[in-house]
A and B are shown apart, each in its own frame.
Chain A
Amino acid sequence: MSKSDPNAPKRLALIASKGTLDWAYPPFILASAAGAMGWDVGIFFTFYGLPLLKTDLHMQVSPLGNPAMPMKMPFGPEGFQNIVWPMPNILMANVPGFEAMATGLMKQTFKNKGVASIEELRDMCVDLDVKMIGCQMTMDVFGFKKEEFIKECTVGGAAMFLEYAADADVQLFI
């Protein structure tokens, strides 16, 4: 996968290491935008980023440990929607279903504002021939099987990704 042709398109190499709903966005947004500009794009999904390759996605987001995350309501009058609700840690940590609620609120807010879903962005990346590489070591450690992942992905290791990234114009760890 080395880039020997000097006239080859620009290359973007990403490492996606986080699998929560909020952190799932940056790699797929950057990859689809770069693909749309005609760039050659590869994403290495490792550690908690690996489940982003699963056929069925179940990402969640938690405001616990995310103190900068605004807690707003995606419904009701504008003044109500603009309220940032104070969420004490004791509430976030102890109320059952709090993460599911926060996840639902984020998905609804993104939908209302016109942001594509992770599923849509990933499909666009597939259409744009973005190379998606699942980390073999993470699969072994967490007990994932290749069959659980989308068929467009390949499986590889650190050396395979580094060879690809060595010829990239932009490399980012997310």
Chain B
Amino acid sequence: MIVHKEAQMTDVIKEDQVLDCSGMLCPMPVVKTSKAMKELQSGQVLKMVATDPGAPPDMEAWSRQTGNELLRSMSEDGKFIFYLKKK
């Protein structure tokens, strides 16, 4: 279970790639994330930004199903930000 944290984290995660899914609804953030992850090497990190309130539970499920680790899930100014590590 991943705790959904507000954005006051001190440790910084460095991303290798950024994907903006703002304004998109289900299933676009999941499909776009899957496509973007295919371009990354194992161990690299994708930062995904979404505005769909359905994205946090969907990204948690996507992470469990694909085995790509969800390093952090947080919300900031009405946006949902995810850091995903390619397995």
Contacts and interface: CB of A to CB of B under 8 A. Distances in A.
Pairing of A with B: yes
Interface of A: 10, 29-30, 32-33, 35-39, 113-116, 121, 124, 127-128
When A and B form their complex, which 3 residue pairs have the shortest distance between CB atoms, in order from nearest?
A: A36-B34, A33-B27, A37-B65
Interface string B8-22: 000000000000000
B31 A124 contact: yes
28 contacts: A10-B65, A33-B27, A33-B30, A33-B58, A35-B31, A35-B34, A36-B27, A36-B30, A36-B31, A36-B35, A37-B30, A37-B34, A37-B61, A37-B62, A39-B65, A113-B25, A114-B23, A114-B25, A114-B28, A114-B52, A115-B25, A116-B24, A116-B25, A116-B28, A121-B27, A124-B31, A127-B35, A128-B34
State the majority secondary structure of interface residues on B. Answer: helix
Interface residues of B, number: 17
Interface of B: 23-28, 30-31, 33-35, 52, 58, 61-62, 65-66
